[in-house]
Structure 1
């Protein structure tokens, strides 16, 4: 790949995690190697419209208000990549001669959209369909990890330790949850109706919509909150003396799976929810703007490489994280989260985040063999090109001996 490549970083999106995604996308752009890459900011607004422009690289411009769009260009992703010869966005610019079509070529997309419509395999599937190179997890891994039920089934098949769960579907319009039926299902799935319990949406990340229930009334209320965000909810036992541990994984150039430092996020409450995860350690109302690449997930109060972990616990975390990473054929920088009973030391795999906040660069910088954010972006991009180029063989009907029409 001679010469500099153009990398389009896509962030924002139609997701409840829209704001965090902006920080992650801008952090990635800031960390690009300027000797190798030119970056293009691509902002997807809450309506699903795509925009680009240098103004988008300023955190203080968000949320976009009033005439903020006057310095931006609305763009569309050209899906006819094969015909174009190179991936490109198209835009239309008004001129004296009418509307002028503009092409904005690029070489690879970095999906930095958290949660729905970006981290869940939908964007990855679109890029696969169009044959556009992209970084990070492929469609299967992205979709499989976003669905917490599916991910837990894979974990169990790999004999990885997870908590038991009850799956509750959103009731049809005009109907209500039956508390007595929920109680019976709890006993069947969890072995007892023992409180407290944790409720979370099945297909969201960043601890959005997570709630704690201390009785059946609290459980019904927490389920209804989760159903505002998803059609399925997971109910799990609450881990007493809760301590959370997180670790990141990525593929090593030698084919092995590399693991980062381990972090213990600070917890100001029984549950590490979205506010604790992303707004802790910052100013009231959120992280500071235009203050360097330290906002977002990295602003969370945390302890890196906590010394209370025994060698056995550390080995369990690293081995389990590598196991689920391999089982789901993941790629990019992926964060895997664990739950621990701080009194007994028992640990369970919690969930997998294929596009973690800040791409978990702070975990790599604190690894036994440190990886800088610039090196991390380089590795993700190089891996993206390699995975995209190796995805498919010949696609013409003649090659598959399936030609019907002459």
Structure 2
């Protein structure tokens, strides 16, 4: 019987999306096929320290405070491959004879960190540098999709419909936002000022720091909020009669790109913000949509699957556009792509691409025409990660490329 692979799932992180990432990581660990894999939780706290321990698999263990950390093992990622060819984490334990290093080997890492320092290509780059097999998007795809402006440019070049936008850089410290200058730029970009506008950070998740501006005062307020989270902010026209549609895309092991069920999130507010998406409209601390076990995160959002109000042409636009941008940016893993629509006119615009979606969008695959269970989805994501990582590996010896300069005398 083949030895089970150890799958390190890394979650948490130094990001405003830290808590959502914890839910996603716990769900992935819970959905691993126990006959094929052993899950290794790797929690990154808000200060950037890495921890492991079985207690981290329990939703009730969070938030992790100083006293709870005493029951865990702090770990460091080894950048050099060990003697048996497996990557490893190292923990340091104090004993009578001093500090003792202990290796914790694993076979593949699954990034489940949302937003900054995890979904933006930085973690993927570290894993590439250390030659560590990992799942999901490669460095380029992760970095490209994190920037909303870049994603929209790629979409336009491939005839995918997106809204016009204006980009603003965070002003220098000590300077104020000039209302007249802002409105002049709005006129220059959009041809005329037509409130309301939507304001959001250019390099964060779809629901974090998003605000609606009905006039210049609320626009400045929304910009100030967004600039606390990002150095660049994107301003877009507000879509009247707004409805949103989400779909997940991935590549089968034979290379075929497939799409999931389409969902229409149902919200109790004008915008689908963080509170509506992850707390079911409740304030932090209020009862969640589901109790017991690991919280469902975005999986508990009220939604209509395969919504009846979409006609065949609209469905084709969503499926074809999402498949095209997935292919153009050479993405991997289970990617959720979000669309905006004017329900009255039927127009549809690609909004953004989420390479590490909440819950890995498993609920969309369970409802797909060719239904895929969460257990099968995690297995596919892992096996794809092994294949992509193996494809990249090459001989790094200087003699191979005739690049040797220094030789032993």
Which band: TM-score by shorter chain?
Answer: over 0.9
- Runs of 4+, deviation exceeding 6 Å: 281-284
Question: Does the alignment pair 1:379 with 2:380?
Answer: yes
In the superposition, the TM-score normalised over structure 2's length comes to 0.96
Q: Does the 8 A contact of 1:281 with 1:300 survive in 2?
A: no
5 Å matches for 1:41-56?
41-56=41-56
Which deviates more, 188-197 or 159-168? 188-197
**What is the Cα deviation at residue 401 of structure 1?**
2.1
1:315 aligned residue? 316
- What is the distance in 2 between the residues matched to 1:338 and 1:114? 19
Q: Does the 8 A contact of 2:82 with 2:88 survive in 1?
A: no
In the superposition, the TM-score normalised over structure 1's length comes to 0.97
SS in structure 2 of the partner of residue 390 of structure 1: helix
**What is the Cα deviation at residue 281 of structure 1?**
6.5
Q: Does the 8 A contact of 1:59 with 1:289 survive in 2?
A: no
**What is the Cα deviation at residue 3 of structure 1?**
2.1
2:101 aligned residue? 101
1:13 aligned residue? 13
1:67 aligned residue? 67
Q: Does the 8 A contact of 2:206 with 2:352 survive in 1?
A: no
SS in structure 1 of the partner of residue 16 of structure 2: coil
1:368 aligned residue? 369
Q: Does the 8 A contact of 2:201 with 2:210 survive in 1?
A: yes
Q: Structure 1, residues 233-273: CA drift from partner, whole Å, max 9, x if none?
A: 00000000000000000001231211000000012112111
- What is the distance in 2 between the residues matched to 1:149 and 1:83? 44
Q: Structure 1, residues 42-74: CA drift from partner, whole Å, max 9, x if none?
A: 100000000000111111111112411121000
Question: Does the alignment pair 1:333 with 2:334?
Answer: yes
Q: Structure 1, residues 133-168: CA drift from partner, whole Å, max 9, x if none?
A: 000000001000001111111111111110000000
Structure 2 unaligned regions, length at least 5: none
Structure 1 unaligned regions, length at least 5: none
- What is the distance in 2 between the residues matched to 1:265 and 1:29? 26
- What is the distance in 1 between the residues matched to 2:130 and 2:84? 11
5 Å matches for 1:168-317?
168-280=168-280, 285=285, 287=288, 291-293=292-294, 295-317=296-318
Q: Does the 8 A contact of 1:60 with 1:289 survive in 2?
A: no
1:39 aligned residue? 39
**What is the Cα deviation at residue 284 of structure 1?**
6.2
Question: Does the alignment pair 1:346 with 2:384?
Answer: no
